[in-house]
Amino acid sequence: MTETVIEELTTPTLDDGDHDRFAHYVRKSDIVKANVEGVEVVALCGKKWIPNRDPAAYPVCPSCKDIMNAITGKG
Ligand SMILES: [Zn+2]
């Protein structure tokens, strides 16, 4: 059994005018690493960015949501 830990929901760090404003699912280990090392995280959908925004204001990325549903068996 493969251990998959996906607990954190975070968002891209994009400037005003960018249409890709979604909250993406990211592995917690990636979040920790990003916080410590300042490196990019990789969302379930494959999006990469350096997190620094509050995720509360954004809808969940549809691609991430589909993948998360597949992983958790929900949906
Ligand atoms: Zn996504």
DSSP state of 44: T
DSSP state of 45: T
CA 26–ligand 1 middle distance (angstroms) = 8
CB contact at 8 A, 11 and 18: no
The pLDDT of residue 16 is 46
Give the tens place of pLDDT for each residue, 25-75.
Answer: 888 888 888 889 989 888 899 988 887 655 557 788 899 899 989 988 875
DSSP state of 53: S
Residue 17, exposed/middle/buried by CB under 10 A (0-12, 13-18, 19+)?
exposed
CA 40–ligand 1 middle distance (angstroms) = 14
CA 10–ligand 1 middle distance (angstroms) = 9
